[in-house]
Amino acid sequence: MTTKAMAGARIPLPRWTRNLRAKEAIAGYIFLSPWLLGIILFIIGPMMTSGFLSFTRYDVVNPPDFVGLKNFIEIFTKDRLFWPSMMLTFRYALIVVPLSLVGALSAAMLLNQALRGTAWFRTFFFLPHLTPIVASAVLWGWIFNADVGPINHWIRTITGSDNAPGWFRDPDWAMTGLIIMAMWGAIGGNTMLIFLAGLQGVPQELYDAAVVDGAGLWAKFLNVTIPMLTPTIFFNMVLGIIGALKVFAAAFVATQGGPAYATWFYALHIYTRAFQYFEMGYASALAWIFFFVLFVFTYVQFRQSRRWVYYAGEVD
Amino acid sequence: MRDHVSRRSFLQGALAVSAGALAACVAPAAPAEDMGDEGAAMEPVHLRWDTFRGIGSGWNEERIETFTEMHPDVTIELRPLAGSGQQDNYAKMYAAQAAGDLGEIIAFDPSHYHFWRAINKNIIMPIDELVAADGTDLSQWFEHFLGLQYYQGKLYGFPSWGWAGFDTLVTNAVHLEEAGIDLPDPTGNDVSIDTIDEWAHSFYVEGERFGLNISHNEATVVVLCRLFGSSLINEEGTKCLLLDDPKATEAMRWAYKLGVEEQVLPAPGDLENTGGALVAGLLTMNWCGSLCVRNFKNQIEDETVAKAWQILFPLREDGRIPSQLRGGTWNLRTDQDHADVGYQFLLHIAGHDGSLDFNLVARNFAMVRPDVVQSLIDEDPIHEWFIPSLENGIPAHAPANSRGREYTSAVQQWTDLLLDPHQPVEFEKGLQDLHDNIQAVLDEDPA
């Protein structure tokens, strides 16, 4: 037998090795199966059902009635709240995402200092994120209460004027109130934790080298911290945008979409159509449109990320 | 012998398991049972009462207990619905019906616009035959509240709650007395729109007090239009009248003048709690329902600050009181074996004792029976004030397509825009938007 032939030949594995591989594979799939069943039953199943329903008229009580593209045509041509709610939602995300990223990064940098009590501070910063959204909406509803809320009390005390915002009752201020409420939960939440992990992963020798080169704090931040954090920033940004575009609970509890549709976000529009007007087919069509918008938006972000995200371990 | 499980075969297996599990989750269709009631009372009967009304007050339990004492073979299971808002409970009832699990005793209120929708979906059964078999006297309820229970010539339930809507100005009498004004007769209908306008200005003190509050909800806007001799939508529920009837336009122009041009009305955000503002003396007249006077009276702690009074709106040219008679219902679900027993239970909760305690124990506004109103007057004479609107009020008009929630939402949100002094819009533009959006809802397919 030539060397070449020997190299190309497949050497049969001993039987006990094959059995072990099969057992490992089965064990792997068994461990995987709860998640797999979960995603099929609770994600893919409802998605497929929703996709089917989007072409039907379905009021929960009667069987779905196939209507073709009628729901989609009505959404784009007759729905008075479709475009306004879409625009409002993007406006909200445009403000909330950058603010929460900057805020969370700032908080993470502060909490990354080796000071006494840092663990306590990290806990305190994370607490708002643990507060249920309904509880936090009720709390902020009181804080923003136009008459007896502490914020307006301070505004009146400081300015000496009785003119203070109406917050959740005022179309001009309701969105601002929801943004402030979102910031409270976002700055110290998961975003901050991920930034914190990212910061702790920046090699110290890069900072040492920068110091040798005469870099100050700001230069180190711009030339070491930010570039090394770009994967983390990108990750947080993608999740932040998706999360912000899905805004629902706070508006549902605090403002019910008002006043004067000032906080009528897209998810609220879907919910209202589905669970208040019982137009499940129409709401499914709304949801699928939103899915495609989010999909395209996320795809573009990934494409763009190649230009500015730096992965230290990446091989070109 | 294969020595590994391929991803494909595993995924196929998982899919098959999932499909099986999904199929198992599918609720069986509602059983198509005959409404046979032969010997219904002779065998143990179990009924389920799905409701959000009265829950937590003890009223429901008392009704069940007193009924089962009279009918030992009957058990009634109370299944409380506890949505965050009343309207949320209807979704649960529709879902329960789809799953074949809706109780036999239910309520789809006309004033929540679900009554006709539920009938069209074959959820509520007509009770005319049961009425005839029982010989029930239908005159025990006020005619207009019983009238709400009819659809296409058939009777579908008995009245639960009912009142005249936002038919009055709940007034702090202290302010009128301080201004040296004689208190108007609370049932006199003798205060003109011009006088209301004048008082809205004269009792307004910038930064301290509002003379008049006009809410932007459907209940108020309808009566506002009726005050000027029109209504918000036509009786058939197919047409918005705001642009077509000059009187409706005039009504909205009056509110616009007070709220946007003269800015003497509270803007959104100015008064967080109008009931509390009345009690605290921060508001003189609140446009609300006459039954709110009862609550106002009960909340007053210091009569030097606030004293309960009401001003009924002036009569219209047609002699009717600007109001909106609206109410609820108790119904029987279709396809049940013991409808005759369920019917007796409906009578038990909608009869005098049930209805009276529905007011006093369950704290609902249920002025649906003359004998109950009399009992309430015996309890508190202030209830006499509510009689004129009950006797001479105007029934509510509902959207013909049963899209009530879309309708009320459109009215509230677009009236907010029209009457918002912070972001003033031209009256004609704001009214056009309000009209168009209401009409767009009325033009939609039936729900």
Contact assignment for B3 to A22 by CB distance below 8 Å: yes
Give the separation between CA A264 and CA A252, rounded to whole angstroms. 9
Q: What is the DSSP letter of A221?
A: I
Handedness of CA A107, A113, A117, A118 (dihedral sign): positive
Give the separation between CA B93 and CA A61, rounded to whole angstroms. 10
Give the mean pLDDT of A195-206.
92
A195 token code pair: 């930034």
Give the pLDDT band (50/70/90) at residue A1: very low
Instruction: Write down the pTM of the prediction.
Output: 0.77
Q: Model confidence over B394-424: pLDDT tens digits?
A: 999 989 988 888 899 999 989 988 998 877 8
**More confident of the two residues A306 and B411:** B411
Give the separation between CA A278 and CA B342, rounded to whole angstroms. 28
Q: Are B165 and B326 in contact (CB under 8 A)?
A: yes
ipTM for the whole complex: 0.71
Q: Are A189 and A108 in contact (CB under 8 A)?
A: no
**A149: nearest CA partner in chain B:** B272
Point out which residues pair with B189 in neighbouring strands.
none
Report which of B167, B231, B232, B169 is spatially closest to residue B197, judged by C-alpha positions. Answer: B169
Contact assignment for A36 to B91 by CB distance below 8 Å: no
Q: Are A26 and B4 in contact (CB under 8 A)?
A: no
**A263: nearest CA partner in chain B:** B413
Pairing of strands B150-151, B154-155: antiparallel
Contact assignment for A259 to B416 by CB distance below 8 Å: yes
B219 contact partners, CB below 8 Å, separation of at least 6 = B165, B166, B289, B324
Which secondary-structure segment (H or E) carries A267?
Answer: helix A266-271
> Touching check for B392 and chain A: CB below 8 Å?
no
Chain B residues lying within 8 Å of A22, measured CB to CB: 2-5
Residue B18: per-residue pLDDT: 57
Contact assignment for A60 to B406 by CB distance below 8 Å: no
Q: Model confidence over A134-173: pLDDT tens digits?
A: 888 888 888 988 777 899 889 988 888 777 888 887 888 8
Set out the domains of chain B in order of their start, with CATH numbers.
42-156+326-386 (3.40.190.10), 168-323+396-442 (3.40.190.10)
- Count of residues in chain A: 316
Residue A29 identity: Y
Chain B residues lying within 8 Å of A264, measured CB to CB: 413
Give the mean pLDDT of A282-295.
95
> Touching check for B422 and chain A: CB below 8 Å?
yes
Which residues of chain B are modeled with pLDDT < 70?
A: 1-42, 84, 269
Share of chain A above pLDDT 90, in %: 53
The Cβ-side half-sphere exposure at B100, using a 13 Å CA radius, reads 8
Residue B374: per-residue pLDDT: 92
Residue A237: per-residue pLDDT: 93
The chain-wide mean pLDDT, for chain A, equals 88
Report which of B217, B208, B181 is spatially closest to residue B196, judged by C-alpha positions. Answer: B181
B304 token code pair: 């030097």
Q: Model confidence over A2-12: pLDDT tens digits?
A: 555 555 556 67
User: What burial letters (b/e) apply to A88-114, b meaning 16+ CB within 10 Å?
Assistant: bbbebbebbbebbbebbbebbbebbee
Q: Token match 């909608």: residue?
A: B350
Q: Model confidence over B64-89: pLDDT tens digits?
A: 999 999 999 999 999 999 876 787 89
User: What burial letters (b/e) apply to B317-329, b meaning 16+ CB within 10 Å?
Assistant: eeeebbbbbbbbb
**Phi and psi torsions of A183, nearest 5°:** -60, -40
What string of DSSP letters covers B282-345? SEEEEEE-HHHHHHHHHH-S-TTT--EEEEEPPPPTTS--S--BEEEEEEEBSS-TTHHHHHHH
Answer whether residue A23 shows pLDDT above 90.
Answer: no
Contact assignment for A275 to B420 by CB distance below 8 Å: no
Residue A159: per-residue pLDDT: 87
